[in-house]
A and B are shown apart, each in its own frame.
Chain A
Amino acid sequence: MTGIEVGVSAIAVLLLLIILGMPIGVAMMVASFGGVAFIRNEAVAIRMLGSVANDSLEEYLFAIVPLFVMMGLLVTISGVGKDTFDLFERMLRRVKAGLGIATVFANAVFASITGISVASASVFARVAVPEMVRHGYTRRFSTGVVAGSSVLGMLIPPSLLMIVYAVLAEESVGRMFLSGVGPGILLSMLFAVTILIMAYWRPAWVFEEEARLEAVPPSSVLDVLRKGAPIVLLVTLVLGGLYGGFLNPTEAGAAGALGALGIALQRRSLNPSKFWALLVETGQITVSVLFLIVAATFFSRMLAMSGLPSALAEFLIGGTLGPYGFLLLFIALIIVMGCFIDSISIMLILLPIVLPVAQAAGFDMIWFGVMTVVAVEIGLLTPPFGLSVYTIKAASDDRTLKVGEIFRGSMPFVLAMVVCLIILTIFPQIATWLARL
């Protein structure tokens, strides 16, 4: 067999094993081991396995993963999300469907101190959904808004998906973070517009009955300060430190984690056993992410050895498909895979194959990263395997809440994300302007 045939077979075997339920990291290693063994021999394959396991994670940069995960979990339990929601609720109390829009904006702000969408989904499922239902919004709409806007968590910096992309594409983490700001704001706007359109044209979808406009007392200056301060503080610490040139991304993660710990302690939301459980959870998330990265490193080295990516680049870009045909195919593939496989795994499987093609197509790699992240996040909302949706179901106290109801509620937001992808294709500056400044 030629290298290219081996590469193609390895990908086919990998997909088959994943569909049949083998852990994705293990499947990637098995397929890569087989590939290398066919191209060279078993001895080379086992040596590569060992060197990948020992060397691929030995980067200062990867310390960022446990640190930002820990920061996200800490702000989740310290109630910062609820305060953000409170502030926006009062600000938007006279707007039609104001609570829905408040949820979106509160998520956008909360996203700037957390890098994982499950954190946003679990916080706002507990905070925003009961409040909306109490004010006469339908459950389908309330949970749909929370699911939809939770994707902002991994688009607006800091963001775990951006870190993973930066690692694979060898881009700077700082720039990838910046590239998410514009699209994050764009997507928030699109979500708000979606909500308004539904509220005016399909009120039955949004409201159970005529919305009860309760007299929410306007918040005092002191209250705003007290509730807004922790977020402003953390954002200044993390993003200010990063772009002020005081901190590198890893250090920004450490400072953020420590800051979040300080806030959690000050609010007395931690005791020793809670803190330990949180650390254990941080460790488990870290392991599952980084183990996948080890496996993906092996996979991409095997692919490079097979010569498949460069052959694919020649074939796809030189052929009738063209750059934008390739982009369309890639986005469609991500969305289909997103129905079955989790976000990080999709990126780790596809990017080693696709990055050389994107480079050959002459795409801006930062913009390509943003497109990838938005497309991958659609998978958080699509059945049967939408992680945000399941997180909301798990976090909700309402036992009668059906997963299907949340999936239906989040569909309008999936459409908004597709619109966002189209706008980003037409105006790539939205993503690249800040990052290339």
Chain B
Amino acid sequence: MQGEERSTGADAPPGTSGRAPLRLWNACVDGLAALGTVMIVLLMIMIVADVVVRNLLGASLPMIAELGALTVVLIVFLQLGTAVRNDRLASTDFFLEAVSIRRPRAAASIRAVWDLFGAAVCAGIAWSSWGILQRDIEHREFIGVTGVMTMQTAPFRALIFVGAAVAAIQFVLLAARRLRGPAPGGDSAP
């Protein structure tokens, strides 16, 4: 139900990513996304296990609600990088489509500017998440109930920070790719 008509769901962009550092970077971004993908399955298993245990033994598993909540945040930030690279963030297209018929370079430049805005927003998130991460480490923030089962929140915060930072860098790379020229095939898809 998202706004992208040209969501191909295709993975690695063809051709342009020939150089080694970029390939390595893409592999890292995909790795993060794969971790997020695995977490969707874990989330399902975790919740079903909670339901089964509760209905059979009459007692809930500890921390499921808090852990589930943190997992959702992680799923989003771990996959944000690939979503950015595949242009999966909802946007309207009619203006840029109209521009790109007459002046494809201008449309690409506008898209690149928007990518830089995206980079700024994600960098802002990363920047202030860094502060939250340090606070969580200092205060030893945890979820769960003391004496039953607890878990530090710091690793989760760290992954949120990483996800936001990766998305920011990916936005910059996307802008660079758009400015270098339209992809073969004429479409603006990166």
Contacts and interface: CB of A to CB of B under 8 A. Distances in A.
A22 B117 contact: yes
Interface stretch (B15-23, B72-80, B144-152, B179-187): B72-80
Contacts of A59: 69, 72
A292 interface: yes
B177 to A, nearest CB: 16
B76 A23 contact: no
B75 to A, nearest CB: 6
Contact of A340 (B92, B111, B157, B160): B92
Given A280-B37, A342-B2, A342-B3, A25 B89 contact: yes
B162 interface: no
Interface stretch (A26-34, A130-138, A300-308): A26-34
Given A25-B89, A284-B83, A341-B92, A63 B121 contact: no
A162 interface: no
B110 A283 contact: no
Contacts of B129: 50, 53-54
A288 interface: yes
A54 B110 CA distance: 30
Interface stretch (A95-103, A252-260, A352-360): A252-260
A30 B9 CA distance: 27
B37 A251 contact: no
B110 A21 contact: yes
B176 interface: no
Instruction: Identify whether the interface residues of B are mostly helix, strand, loop, or mixed.
Output: helix
Interface residues on B, range: 35 or more
A421 interface: no
B57 interface: no
Contacts, number: 205
B163 to A, nearest CB: 10
Interface in B20-73: 33, 36-37, 40-41, 43-44, 47-48, 50-51, 55, 65-66, 68-73
A284 B1 contact: no
A298 to B, nearest CB: 10
Contacts of A288: 2, 4, 83, 88-90
A26 B118 contact: yes
A26 B125 CA distance: 12
Nearest to B51: A251
Given A254-B47, A255-B48, A284 B128 contact: no
B59 to A, nearest CB: 15
Contact of B88 (A22, A24, A46, A284): A284
Contact of B68 (A30, A63, A118, A289): A63
Contacts of A154: 1
Given A63-B47, A288-B4, 19 more contacts: A24-B90, A26-B114, A26-B117, A46-B124, A46-B127, A50-B124, A50-B131, A54-B160, A60-B65, A60-B69, A67-B47, A251-B50, A285-B2, A286-B40, A286-B76, A287-B75, A292-B90, A345-B3, A387-B5
Interface of B: 1-5, 7, 9, 33, 36-37, 40-41, 43-44, 47-48, 50-51, 55, 65-66, 68-73, 75-77, 79-80, 82-83, 86, 88-96, 110-111, 114, 117-118, 120-121, 124-125, 127-129, 131-132, 157, 160, 164
